[in-house]
Amino acid sequence: MSTTEHPLAVVCDGLRLRGGAVVPESPRGIVVLFHGIPSTGPPEPGDEGYPGLARRFAAAGWTGVWADFRSAYGGPGTFSIEGWVRDARAIVDAARALDGAAGVPLAIVGSSAGGAVGVEVVARGAPADALVLLAAPAEWGTFARDPAHGVERITRDAGMVVAPEVSANPAAWGEEFDRVTPELAIAKVKVPVLALHGTADDVVPVDHARRIGARSQRVDLRILDGAGHRLRLEPGVVDLVLEWLRRTLR
């Protein structure tokens, strides 16, 4: 299938976020991809990141949209979870503004922390028609309970930046994670939800998916035996998501 690629214009809080759209001929809908907290480790061989994932969705007939949240992957700004939620709304709005986007369904596919952000932004009214969660946490654990350790993880392990005042006193920064809690926000989501989680996830335990699923009858929960945390790289997962989207967004 022939596709075209072009930059996505996303500005939030004065920050110009890096993003792009991969558009097929006569798209059946839009898939907006939200990444998780980055890793400073080397990528797996052959991993084309979220631009590559957008191309996979475009090859199946869906406009694939990706963007980097603030401070991720060397981007502008400082990290906060509420900042990421605002970025997410700006990304969805930019996707809705694409040529040819009027009248077609839009699905959000969020990985890990991006799934948590996806739940929150849809619960707050972002114009989405479906939501897919890949290894999303039900809550944030140490980020909320031990914000100083959370800051260390964000800056050391994820290579992102926090505001100077957060480094000096991270308490208020940590409290934001209590306001972005997927297992609470999922009850406010009024669109179909697919939640996928692997039994071999060593980052977010599989019980988190069960907790999210227990809070809403709209959640189609699928536990994937032997799958790890990076579900977008697991064999068959993208095909499973595409089949669910085809059945759900007819």
DSSP letter for 13, please: T
Residue whose C-alpha is closest to residue 184's, from 119, 87, 111, 110: 119
Query: What does the pLDDT read at residue 172?
Result: 94
Residue 53, domain CATH? 3.40.50.1820
- pLDDT tier, 143 (very low <50, low <70, confident <90, very high otherwise): confident
Maximum Cα–Cα distance across the chain:
52
Q: Are 185 and 123 in contact (CB under 8 A)?
A: yes
| Paired residues of 34 in beta bridges | 110
pLDDT in tens, 1-47: 799 999 999 999 999 999 999 999 999 999 999 999 998 778 888 88
DSSP letter for 73, please: G
Please say if the pLDDT value at position 240 is more than 90: yes
pLDDT in tens, 46-92: 889 999 999 999 999 999 999 999 999 999 999 999 999 999 999 99
Total count of residues recorded for the chain: 250
Range of the structural domain that residue 198 is part of = 3-248
Cα 16 from Cα 21, distance rounded (Å): 15
Straight-line distance from the first to the last Cα atom of the chain, in angstroms, rounded to the nearest whole number: 20
Q: Count structural domains, the chain.
A: 1
pTM: 0.97
